[in-house]
Structure 1
């Protein structure tokens, strides 16, 4: 087994109602120095024993609806790329990309 390890840390500051106010993260191989801030995150982890996905979806009070729409769109695009890279399911990945174009149109966001 390899001794090569990477570490990712996430710190979430909550208000009195447990609503995220600040999300900071760092990683051992992140570009740039120090802790980075973000307004939203989706974290999905596969549990092989339960054959189920564990999810953690967080966003801060400052995350606007327009930013969330763009965040969703970009996440869906990267999910299509990951599906294709992990499974070689080119057709389904392309179908997902078609949906992301539809999503961007319906949400009235620009594909950047």
Structure 2
């Protein structure tokens, strides 16, 4: 059996606001920690049947990058759900609705979409 470890390091200022976020993985291509400006971490708690989340961003994260981060996260959540559901027909239909919302979000937030 193989195991992998993901390490997140958050440097806080004196007000506990994130200044720097770095991450590294034992399965990663890089042997050094990589910088990040924001993270959304969601874990499923099987005992309580709910999600546990950590949402962090550095104080110098520009709002235009945060909008793009939200947009891309919503898009990839749809991709993940499709893979997890085994391409279930109902999931495909719902993901279509999510894609429509992502287009709407991108337009309202003036996020440049790349196709």
Q: Is this a same-fold pair by TM over 0.5?
A: yes
CA distance in 1, matches of 2:11, 2:112: 31
CA distance in 1, matches of 2:58, 2:5: 23
**Where do 4+ consecutive residues of structure 1 move more than 2 Å?**
none
How far off is 1:63 after superposition? 0.2
* Corresponding residue for residue 17 of structure 1: 15
CA distance in 1, matches of 2:4, 2:46: 21
CA distance in 2, matches of 1:102, 1:30: 34
CA distance in 2, matches of 1:28, 1:76: 27
* Corresponding residue for residue 106 of structure 1: 108
Aligned-CA RMSD value = 0.8
Structure 2: runs of 5 or more not aligned = none
CA distance in 2, matches of 1:94, 1:84: 11
CA distance in 2, matches of 1:20, 1:59: 6
Structure 1: runs of 5 or more not aligned = none
2:25 aligned residue (24, 27, 31): 27
1:29-108 alignment, distance < 5 Å: 29-87=27-85, 88=87, 89-108=91-110
How far off is 1:33 after superposition? 2.8
Deviation readout 1:91-112 (Å, 9 max, x if unpaired):
1111111110110000011112
TM-score by length of 2: 0.92
TM-score by length of 1: 0.95
Aligned residue pairs: how many? 110
